[in-house]
Amino acid sequence: MESQTTTLPLKQLVFRAELRSPLPERKLSLGAFHFCPSATSALPLSSALLSRFGVPGTLKMFGRLLTPSREFICVAAGGRLATYAVVNVGFCRRYAVEPGAILLCNGWTDPQYRGRGLMEGMLARAINHLIARGSRIFYMDTRENNTAMRIVIERFGFGPPVSTIEPYD
């Protein structure tokens, strides 16, 4: 009889941390960090956003940034996005978070710059900015086999996952 192997779907792990002290900010190997709390503050990055998201995606991003619950962070270099993520303030579509809690999500680094600490450097700067602004509770989630994100999450002092959700793209 032919043996069958079933592959279990990889889990999406949810991490939560209360952070009060600033994190070490590793030197950015390229580019400059930007924290965009609003559509207006992201306007100077328009061409970098367009080169990554195209017109529909850029308009969608600006639309998101019109709400106070969405912010955008990136490292931009040479007019392009080297790495970026979205900051959700007090909400998550997939699991409950406390009012005012921060969810750092949709992280991406340009493949040519991966493994150089850009995601870690960007997220540390964003978290430190948010701590200075009064945020204390932070959430991140990632696929269980995402080694890079799990290294970063652990370095930032997030403990073991607090829950598991259905994986998503």
Q: Tell me which H or E stretch contains 151.
A: helix 147-155
Q: Which of 26, 15, 143, 12 is nearest to 83 (CA)?
A: 26
CA atoms within 13 A on the CB side of 126: 32
Q: Does 48 contact ligand COA by CB under 6 A?
A: no
Q: Does 87 contact ligand COA by CB under 6 A?
A: no
Please pick, from the candidates 127, 152, 158, 161, the single residue that binds ligand COA as defined by CB under 6 A: 152
Binding track, positions 99-138, relative to ligand COA; x by CB under 6 A? --------xxx----xxxxxxx------------------
Instruction: Please name the residue ranges forming H helices in 38-88.
Output: 39-42, 46-65
Q: DSSP 3-state assignment of 144?
A: coil
Enumerate residues 6+ apart whose C-beta is below 8 A from 162.
14, 15, 16
In this complex, which beta carbon is closest to ligand COA, that of residue 40 or of residue 147?
Answer: 147
- The distance of closest approach from Cβ of residue 123 to ligand COA in the complex, given in angstroms and rounded to an integer, is 8
- The distance of closest approach from Cβ of residue 9 to ligand COA in the complex, given in angstroms and rounded to an integer, is 16
Residues that bind ligand COA (CB under 6 A): 83, 107-109, 114-120, 142, 146-149, 151-152
